[in-house]
Structure formats: C-alpha cells, structure tokens
Structure 1
C-alpha cells in the first residue's frame, strides 16, 4: 500500500474490518457463552478507535480525490457490513494502481 490518502484508507479499512470480525465472531461469543466480558471491552474500544480513524480517512479521500457524497457514503456503509471493508479494499486497490 502506498503512502497516499487512498493507501491510508485501505490500511485503516483492513484493520477496522479485522477488528469488526474479531468483535463479532470472537469477543461476543466469549462474552455471552464463556462469561468473559472483558474481551468485548478491549476489542470494542480498539474497534471504536479504528472506526473513527476510518471515517476520518474517508473524509480525507473525499476531499483530496473529490469523491462524491454517494461514494463516501458507500465507503462508510462498507464498514457497517461484516467483510464490507474487504470488498471496498478490492475496489480501492484498482483505483490506487
């Protein structure tokens, strides 16, 4: 990944996507089935930080590359869907090349 606004968005998006999957498929089951709520506290805080950074990175790319509101909205929605940031990354990889 290049050190460009899109490259940073890709990196943060991948980290955010991984943290979301860890939260959903590891931490939440640990909390509800194993009685280990600290897993959600830790992974939830990390995911929250990465989500905010992802939103800021979207805004930065929208400004620098003159993305439309719709394109920025699609990037935001991708972070709400499990595996969505990985689909976004595939599109951004083509744009970055």
Structure 2
C-alpha cells in the first residue's frame, strides 16, 4: 500500500542512484564517447531532476509527519546534493524511525 515513509525511501534510493549515474555519464562517457553522451544526457538529467524535486517534497512532508526538528530536516535536504548523501540518510535517519 501507499506509505509516505516507504515512498520517501524509494525516491531517496532512486535519487541517489540517478545522481551517481549522472556523474558517471559526465566523468566517464563524455570524454571518450561524445556522440553517446549527447543522447544520454537529456533522459538521465531529466530523471534526476524529477527525482530530486520529489525527494525534496517528500522530505518536507515526512518531516511534518514524523515531527523532525529543523536540524534533521536540514541534514536530510542537504544530503540530496552530496554524492552518496541519500544513502547516508537512509542508513542513519530512516532506519531508526521505522
């Protein structure tokens, strides 16, 4: 069934993976395969952008539901712009709330 907590965990995982795939595309594919890079950039970037926005919205909704303080919410939001940050949030903040 639909659960805000499970939805956030899924979106956090997908957002973290899409962020790493986007970096991988920029670091490894772009320098060597310029023609493939142009084809991959738009769908990967669009998927990551949508997942990033969903992550932010769901984090704010979950913070209101779980009554997180401002510091916890700020850490969860900042983690979305740091590579591997969403995996850290899942391991530290989401495991102990379940």
Answer whether TM exceeds 0.5 for this pair: yes
Show the counterpart of 2:23.
Answer: 24
- Listed as ranges, the gaps of 5+ residues in structure 1 are none
Return 5+ residue gaps in structure 2 as ranges: none
TM-score normalized by the length of structure 2: 0.86
SS for the counterpart of 1:77 is: helix
TM normalised by structure 1 equals 0.87
Correspondence for 1:50: 51
Q: Please give the alpha-carbon distance, in whole angstroms, between the structure 2 residues aligned to 1:53 and 1:32.
A: 31
Please give the per-residue CA displacement for 1:15-74, whole angstroms capped at 9, x wherever unaligned.
00000000001x213233310222121100000000000001101111111111211110
Number of matched pairs: 94
- Greater mean alpha carbon deviation, residues 47-56 or residues 85-94: 85-94
